[in-house]
Amino acid sequence: MKPDCPFQRLLKAHLMTVTNENCNLRIDKFLSDFLNISRHKVQSAIAQEWVSVNGQPIKSNYKVQPKDAIIAHIPTATEAATLTPEAIPLDIVYEDDHLLVVHKPAQMVIHPDTTHQTGTLAHALLHRYKNLPLKDDMPTRPGLVHRIDKDTSGLLVVAKTAESLANLSRQFYNHTVKRMYYTLVWGNPENGCGTIDLNIGKSRRHHQKMVAFPDPEQGKRAVTHYQVIKPLHQVALVACRLETGRTHQIRVHMQQIGHPVFGDAQYGGDVIVKGQRYTSYKAFIHNCFKLMPYQALHAAVLGFNHPVTGAPLSFEAALPENFVKLIEKWEKYNTARMDHVAQDKTFDQTSLPLFQ
């Protein structure tokens, strides 16, 4: 099927075959997950009969079946946005002819949006590399396979060739990429470890926020495995391993179980959640927020198979300096609180176990 569209050059064709794992999903949800685009965009394409299954147009509520051959023509950006390369330093952890792994600092935006038009990782990549492949044919996303939030620090993989971009994107889609984060959360999660399996989707009230849905027909499935690494009385250092990678996943999931990420203004972590409201405690928390004025979340481990050789690759990124100092501050506060002499010990992150 070829769409009857005067702007056919702006449509990108996607061909895919349904596996047993994905059978009986609504096709709009299947394509939204598979192509990492909005469900609304998929439904619009279906309404225009730009999506076919086994050569026939279908409706959005069609349930995909094993071996279904799907062709989806999805509109790309109608205008080619241009970026001006910027000489922004990059902390490159690994690089070869096919990819690079970058350690992104907190407060750096991945690519331009309505409020950040300069200073992004995309601008920095364009300054260093001239021919990066474009994610979803979007000029604002050169080589970008995945994203992490602006105020989250840590590791990202960037593709240098179209082959690598396609292969790495498929690894993320199949949930075979290893991702482990460290986060400081309010309180101490029950039992010290667990799994959160709740769908995540956009909030109907607040466009910039995500929410957890118990209904499997709403949002996208999101699974987070967590383990307490270091209890610190009113807070805890927690390792989170992602089975899926949804927008704001850890932040939404930890808020949902009553342990919002420390300092997270969007999901309730920037106020006192645990502890008495004594003046001295309020002052201590204020100083903690001043030390780290955004969510305490760090993408520490990233592992995947090399897109060309197939060799397993794994990378680790040390906690940022202010994150380390934040943990040290809580250690000293708790030591003093227990009527012991506060020790000027340094938090040793090299002793942190890696959550498997």
Known catalytic residues are 149
CB of 314 closer than 8 Å to CB of 301: yes
| DSSP code of residue 175 | T
Q: Would you say 112 and 126 are in contact if contact means Cβ atoms under 8 Å apart?
A: no
Helix 321-337 vs helix 279-291: angle between axes, to the nearest 10 degrees? Answer: 160
* CA 354 to chain CA centroid, nearest Å: 19
Calpha distance 325→308 (Å, rounded): 40
CA nearest to 47, candidates 39, 59, 34, 30: 59
Q: Tell me how crowded residue 133 is: count the other CB atoms within 10 A of its CB.
A: 19
What CA dihedral angle connects 25, 30, 34 and 35, to 10 degrees? 180
Could you tell me which residues are beta bridge partners of residue 180?
241, 301
Q: How far is CA 277 from CA 46, 121, 237, 271, in A?
A: 54, 40, 22, 11
DSSP secondary structure string, 296-344? -EEEEEEEEE-TTT--EEEEE-PPPHHHHHHHHHHHHHHHHHTTSPPP-
Q: In whole angstroms, what is the distance from residue 265 CA to residue 291 CA?
A: 15
67: CB partners within 8 A, 6+ apart: 17, 18
Structure tokens at 55: 């050569």
Total residue count of the chain as it appears in this document: 356
